[in-house]
Amino acid sequence: MKMNKRFLSLLLTLIMIFTLGVTTAWADSSAMYLIDDRAPYPTGPIDVHVKIMGYGEGNIFFDDEVALTGNTTKNVKDALEAAAANDSSLTIQGLDYGYVSEINGQSYGEAGTYSGWVFRVNHKVPIEDDDDPTYGVLGGTIASTYLQDNDSIYMWYDTPESTRYTRVNVEQDEDEYTVTAQYSYNNNLWDFEFTDFTTLTTGTIVLVNIDNPVYQVEKPLSSSGVVFDVGELPSGNYGVYYRGTYENNGAIEYVESFIVPLN
């Protein structure tokens, strides 16, 4: 069944909002970006990285570079089509309608209301319009989110009704950053209230180079946190993420709303 594009955009935006934790993520522009702000987009061939992860521990469907050819601007839809063309075991449904309804048998809505496939580009939420007269913030679709060379697309199956909001804290001491993580469950579905945070002692902390998302360092989380020695890393801007496994979901990455600058 073909659905209204604006309705789909709003629905996808709501799903991404649940995943990010509205009260923090939308307040900080580093957790999202306006698609138009990255224009102009190249019309020639580009290479991007695509990672697709379903629910269920370790359920990685695709994780590789893809080449997008032709003399037009490229979008997330093009990247997903290229990934499916490169891997015969990858089956994606719904692309012609501008959204993903099913990947490898995991369908929209099967894990609860609003569950389904969501994505980020370079670990950020793409936004079509941050002042839409009807919807306010209008999230980008796979067709409206255009790509630059070396972008990183991450798509996963999310179940917002059971999603917890995870945040990380960073403390700097000269050339070392100590990262700890906490989580809270949404206590009010409509007001997006997150209180009573609990320290996380399992999972993985990931340090990602924002300028070159393919480059990242991962360390297992402990009760005392994780220490990164920035002197061993190339210069650039880095984002800090938490990756964990819980309930029936696989590894989910939560983008943090700040960047660690390294010189």
Query: Which CATH number does the domain housing residue 93 bear?
Result: 2.170.130.30
Q: How far apart are CA 8 and CA 55, in angstroms?
A: 22
- Tally of structural domains, the chain: 2
Domain that includes residue 224, residue range: 164-262
Q: What is the pLDDT of residue 158?
A: 72
Q: How far apart are CA 97 and CA 220, in angstroms?
A: 39
Which of 162, 188, 221 represents a domain boundary (last residue)?
Answer: 162
Q: In this structure, are 20 and 124 located in the same domain?
A: yes
DSSP run (H or E) holding 14: helix 5-20
Q: What is the pLDDT of residue 238?
A: 79
Asked whether the predicted pLDDT for residue 114 surpasses 70, the reply is no
Asked whether the predicted pLDDT for residue 252 surpasses 80, the reply is no
Q: What is the pLDDT of residue 256?
A: 52
Q: In this structure, are 169 and 106 located in the same domain?
A: no
What is the tens place of the pLDDT at every residue in 198-235? 888 888 888 887 777 777 888 998 888 999 887 777 77
What is the tens place of the pLDDT at every residue in 123-169? 777 888 877 777 666 788 899 999 999 999 988 887 654 456 677 88
Q: Mean pLDDT for the chain? A: 75
Q: In this structure, are 174 and 155 located in the same domain?
A: no
Which of 132, 162, 192 represents a domain boundary (last residue)?
Answer: 162
* Cβ neighbours around 210 below 10 Å, total: 18
Each residue of 155-172: b (16+ CB within 10 Å) or e? bbbbbbebbbbbbbebee
